[in-house]
Structure 1
């Protein structure tokens, strides 16, 4: 059997940032791995124009001119239940933080840790799934085991949406996201938004004759922080380990076009968490109402209100209600703890398709999207063993 660390380092060194050419390159590499491992391979071009035009498309933020789907199937001997491992291959940009200590895609190993963007989120989990399938190929279970490598998860769920559209299904699914080897049967939602705050441009030397859009954003930002507090009161007990179950954050702010001018517009982009069992429509309405109240309290904004746009990834919340499968994963993980994820994931697309799904994988979610991202190799190996145990029992 191949060393998981070697494969993981190779995959981390492919900088498969969402929308980049390497997002396609890594699918080609993985298709080759699957073929060499004896899997039946389905590697197809995704019809972006057709899928993105659908009313139920889950959103896409990274510009793409092409994207590829990839599934490898280990056929069972017959008569057993099928199991899917669903892992995304796209990663977020690494940024320029000195915390990387060099190349953010180095894949370097220090002791038990393998470093690099995507090592934790979630190429470590992908390698755990591939290692499990490689182990199962030597003594096949009765049911099929499917490995789905998907693109576009970070910015909406393009890959899993295309996978389901192509007709791929299984009796149950594990997403090996970084959970620290805990079992995660539920995930909050997350909606991407854009705010446009109007001001009035003027020369900075005569700033009193203008209206700063930056200044007018401040009461709106305060209102959003207050909304976040209200929305996190009485959160589902599955979120008890988190300080915030449903975070609301502004991730990008742009204002003005000249240093010595009063900024005439501010554009802020962010995400709002959607509570378990809450509809995305209700979450949108709550935010729009909060912004509206902030505008009503300001004479300028009352006449020139902030606009709210919903774009990009639109993640609904979801939970798996199949208690037997959750228990099976927990048992295979040798009694792992359970909690809910405060972020959106492809779990909601798979459960909506009627596939009981949980998240379970190596790595600390606090390291995902962070500088110095890494994954413990011991956890990658333990996750592979747990996924193997699950497949042996579930697919029997």
Structure 2
């Protein structure tokens, strides 16, 4: 794999290395060997199936460029298929969008920007597509925390080649209603827990989410019922019903504030927080982030989902998502990326990092 080549070709090479979560050894071996052989000015570290590399030039600022090497399971979308040519070329296949196009750009930068104006750290990590406890960034933070420090993190998740700053937080809660069982022929002797969901469902239907502006970016919050469970048998009044609710909250709220908000919305009902993850403020006023926005020459957007930028924000640095590909295609059988977007992201980051 020639890291100095067109990043479109690097993308093609990476896609054809199957790397479903938990089986990234082969792609990590390939990335590690390429970096050691073709970018000897970088310090390279292997951590499990993650590969890290960095400069030590004594620059005033450090930029962290991070991308995961794993994919969701194969869905009859390997090997890579190419369509068109030149400005019309499209790469089809697993990982083209999520996120080997972004990885390819970072590998290309590692080999071609030998004298960047900022010190650089490259993080190619494992197990992003599975449960958070297995995410390679967590292991790296525990074992090699200094490698994640910087003034700006750029995560190469797909954004259609537009900078998406920060990210929303997410919280899932369960609202539980208890009642009393009875035979449906004598329903007045019981209390139907499912019927008790009418009021919280009404509140959900009438809920108006916030759309706060942060650093000039508009974040759209959301509150949705995502699952209902209840019922005993076809002739029994149910004595329990559980409503699962997902809340996407803007990064100006902490998880504690988001939880308090939900308890106010559903006052009088029993709520249990099942899981939560904080959001990430965009931090576009930070000098390094402002430089990147200028280099991109376009208006950044708010990230309306959760990504690993939140992990970097928790370490005290601004973080953005910036990569080729349509995020709506991630995890689909029809995953594909325009070659022009891969080159566009590479050009912006080269401009940003070059003296």
Q: Which is worse superposed, 73-82 or 314-323?
A: 73-82
Aligned to 1:220: 200
C-alpha contact (below 8 Å) 2:98/2:157 kept by paired residues = yes
Equivalent position of 1:288 in the other structure: 263
1:103 aligned to 2:76? yes
* Deviation of 1:181 (Å): 1.6
Q: Residue 102 of structure 2 corresponds to which residue in structure 1?
A: 125
2:313 alignment partner, SS class: helix
Distance 1:91 1:202, change over 3 A: farther
Whether 1:364 and 2:332 are equivalent positions in the alignment is no
Partner residue, 2:164: 184
- Of the candidates 288, 312, 315, which is equivalent to residue 275 of structure 2? 312
Are the counterparts in 1 of residues 51 and 123 from structure 2 also a CA contact under 8 Å?
Answer: yes
The two structures have a TM-score, normalised by structure 1, of 0.71
Q: TM-score, normalised by structure 2?
A: 0.77
Q: Distance in 2 between matches of 1:116 and 1:214?
A: 44
8 Å Cα contact 1:362-1:380 kept in structure 2:
yes
Q: Is the contact made by 2:174 and 2:245 (CA closer than 8 Å) also made in structure 1? A: yes
SS at match of 1:37: helix
Alignment of 1:20-59 (within 5 A): 23-26=21-24, 28-38=26-36, 40-45=43-48
Counterpart Cα distance in 1 of 2:332 and 2:194: 28
Mapped to 2, the partners of 1:124 and 1:318 lie a distance apart of 25
Give 1:164's match in structure 2, choosing from 138, 141, 152.
Answer: 141
Would you say how many aligned residue pairs link Structure 1 and Structure 2?
A: 335
Residues in 2 aligned to 1:156 and 1:284: alpha-carbon distance in whole angstroms: 20
Is the CA contact 1:278–1:317 (under 8 Å) kept in the aligned structure 2?
no
- Alpha-carbon spacing, 1:274–1:233, altered in 2? closer, same or farther (3 Å): closer
Q: How does 1:364-383 map to 2 (within 5 A)?
A: 364-368=326-330, 372-383=334-345
Residue 53 (structure 1) aligns with: none
Query: SS at the partner of 2:106?
Result: helix
Pick the aligned partner of 1:145 from 120, 128, 147. Answer: 120
Instruction: State whether residues 76 and 333 of structure 2, in contact with CA within 8 Å, keep that contact through their aligned partners in structure 1.
Output: no
- What is residue 7 of structure 1 aligned with on the other side? 13
Shift in Å at residue 392 of structure 1? 2.3
Which runs of no fewer than 5 residues in structure 2 stay unpaired? 37-41
Q: CA 1:142/1:250 → structure 2, altered by over 3 Å: closer, same or farther?
A: same
Q: Distance in 2 between matches of 1:176 and 1:288?
A: 36
Partner of 1:232: 210
**How far did residue 26 of structure 1 move?**
1.8
Could you tell me which of 37, 62, 67 is aligned with 1:87? 67
Match of 1:278 in 2: 253
The 1:370–1:212 alpha-carbon spacing in structure 2 relative to 1, beyond 3 Å, is farther
Alpha carbons 2:281, 2:318 under 8 Å: kept: no
Per-residue CA deviation, residues 329-356 of structure 1 (Å, 9 max, x unaligned), is 12332x0221111222222332332333
